[in-house]
Structure 1
C-alpha cells in the first residue's frame, strides 16, 4: 500500500488528481459535508395529532463540488485536466463490479486528512469559455456511507498463544497491585481505536490452523471461518460495507459459520478487546487486524 500524498489545507484529491488550493482546479464550495440524508420510518398515527418517530438510517453521503478548471489561454490544457478528473472513475477497478469505490480525500484547516469512499456520479463541464482556459464544473461524488475515514489505517497482530503468556508467579510478595486498565499492561488483544464512530475491520488469519474463531469481547460478536490453513496460507475477513467478503490467499472463498454476522462485527471508539482461537498444535498462527478510524463529522 503506497503512502498517500500529503495534502495542504484546502487541497483535496479526487481519485489520483489533486484539486483545490495550489492546483488547476479551483473550488468555490463543497456541499454535503454536514448531516447526511436520512431514511426514516416515521408514521402519521390515524385519528390523532403528532408523528410516531421510527428508526432513522443514514443514506450514503452525497458531496457536490462547485469548481472550475483554470489555465489561462490554454483550451487543450483545461480539456486535458477535465479528462484526468474523469479517468479514475472510468476503470474496471471502480465501476466493474458492485461494492468497489474510489476515494475523495479532504483536507481542511485544523483537521487531519479525511477520506470518503464512493463513486463519481457527475462531472458536468461548461466549455463555452474554454477558449480562454476556463471551464466551470459541476461535480457530484456519491459516498457509500455517511462517515469520514482516517487517511491511513491502524493495525495490530496477535499470535494464537498470546493469552497463555503472563500469569502469576508464586510466592507472592505483599502488597501487590492488579492493573485495572488493559492498556496499562499492554496485553495482546487490546486495540485502541481512534475516531468518533464505529468502524469495520479487516481480519486476516495466517496458518497453520483450522476453524479460526474471532470474538469482539465487548459485543460478544463472533466470526468463525470453517476452513483449514497450512503454514503460510491465510484467510481474510473484510467486514467493511460494500465488501464483506471472506477470501483465501488463492482467490477462493471460505464459509463462515451460520451464527457469524459479518455486518455487525465492528470496532467501537476507545479500547476494544479481541480474542481468537483455532486448532493449532504449533501455536504459530497469527491474527492481523486492520482498521480505519471513522468520524461522524469533519
Structure 2
C-alpha cells in the first residue's frame, strides 16, 4: 500500500488514504469521532430545593467513529472487488484493530462495526463508501507497548553456614520491594495495564505509588504458575484459565495508571523453589490519549 494522504487509516486488510495493492485509490474525505475527545457522561442531579444541581466527576462514553470517502479503481472489475474488500475488513461480531498513522503519532483502538457499510456507485470505476465503528474502550493507545518487570528482592538468612545439603526447600522470606516504572506519555488520566505475577510467591500484593492504592491477594502462586491481573477488566486469572477473583483481600482498591510517570510496587513472601526461581512481576501498558 502507498499512502496518498495523511492520516492513514488501517482496519483489517483495508486502509484509507492509500493506493492499495490492487491499484485502487481509497480517499477518506470525512472523519468524525477519532480526532475529537470521547463523549462525556456527566454525573449530576438537579437540586430539589435550590438552584442548580449536585455534580460529581463525569465519565467518558464509548467512542463512535465515522469514516466516509471515495474509491477509484482502474477498471470496473477492480471496482467490484474493492467493494467486497471493504465489507470484509470488519464484521458485526469480532473486534478489529483500527490504527491511525499521523505524521507525529500512530494510535490504535479496538472497534466493532456498529452500522451497515454504505456503498453507492460513482461512475463506472468508482464508488462512495462510509462505515461506522464503535470502540467500547474510548482510549486511543500508542501502537507500541512497554513491558517492564522486576524480581522480588530477598534478604538472605544471617547466621552460621554448614557444608551440608538437606532434601527440602524452605520458603525464602521477602526482604524488600520490587518496582516497575512506566511513563504514560498520553493525556488519559486513567490508563489500564495488565500485571502478571510469576511464582513461587505467597500472598503477593501490588501497589500504585501515585494513587496510594494497593491490591493484595490471599493466594499461593507456585513455581511455574502465573497470576494475571487485568486492571481494565478487573479480573484475576491463574494460568489464564481459572478465575481467582475471590483471592482479592478485603481492603484492596483497584487502580489505573495516571498521566506521566507511574511506579507499581511488588511484594510478597517468596515460596519454595526446587530450581532457584524467584518471584517476578511484569506489567504491560501503553500510553493512552483521549
The reply on whether 1:199 has 2:159 as its aligned counterpart is no
Name the counterpart of 1:277: 267
Q: Give the C-alpha shift of residue 194 in structure 1.
A: 2.1
Name the counterpart of 1:107: 101
Q: Give the C-alpha shift of residue 63 in structure 1.
A: 1.0
Q: Unpaired segments of 5 or more residues in structure 2?
A: 157-177
Q: Unpaired segments of 5 or more residues in structure 1?
A: 95-100, 166-186
Q: Give the C-alpha shift of residue 119 in structure 1.
A: 1.1
1:56 & 1:232 partners in 2: Cα distance? 42
2:57 & 2:184 partners in 1: Cα distance? 27
1:150 & 1:79 partners in 2: Cα distance? 35
Name the counterpart of 2:217: 225
1:152 & 1:79 partners in 2: Cα distance? 36
RMSD: 3.1
SS of corresponding position for 1:273 = strand
The reply on whether 1:251 has 2:245 as its aligned counterpart is no
Name the counterpart of 2:167: none
1:194 & 1:61 partners in 2: Cα distance? 21
Name the counterpart of 1:12: 9
1:236 & 1:260 partners in 2: Cα distance? 20
- Alignment CA distance shift 1:47-1:230 (3 Å): closer
- Alignment CA distance shift 1:209-1:227 (3 Å): same
SS of corresponding position for 1:268 = coil
1:57 & 1:123 partners in 2: Cα distance? 28
Q: Give the C-alpha shift of residue 276 in structure 1.
A: 1.3
More helix, by proportion: 1
Name the counterpart of 1:268: 258
Name the counterpart of 2:27: 26
Tell me the number of residue pairs that the alignment of Structure 1 and Structure 2 aligns. 257
1:114 & 1:246 partners in 2: Cα distance? 27
Name the counterpart of 2:63: 61
1:294 & 1:112 partners in 2: Cα distance? 12
More strand, by proportion: 2
The reply on whether 1:124 has 2:138 as its aligned counterpart is no
Name the counterpart of 2:40: 38
Could you tell me whether the CA contact under 8 Å between 2:83 and 2:119 is conserved in 1?
A: no
SS of corresponding position for 2:65 = strand
1:199 & 1:210 partners in 2: Cα distance? 28
- Alignment CA distance shift 1:119-1:233 (3 Å): same
Deviates more, 1:77-86 or 1:199-208: 77-86
Name the counterpart of 1:81: 82
Q: Give the C-alpha shift of residue 118 in structure 1.
A: 2.1
SS of corresponding position for 2:117 = strand
Residue-by-residue CA offset, 1:200-237 (whole Å, 9 max, x unaligned):
11100111123321111221222223433222211111
Question: Quick check: which has more Rg, 1 or 2?
Answer: 2
2:179 & 2:2 partners in 1: Cα distance? 32
- Alignment CA distance shift 1:83-1:244 (3 Å): farther
1:49 & 1:224 partners in 2: Cα distance? 44
Residue-by-residue CA offset, 1:149-198 (whole Å, 9 max, x unaligned):
10110120010117x69xxxxxxxxxxxxxxxxxxxxx843333322223
Deviates more, 1:22-31 or 1:247-256: 247-256
TM-score, with structure 1 as normaliser: 0.74
Q: Give the C-alpha shift of residue 275 in structure 1.
A: 1.3
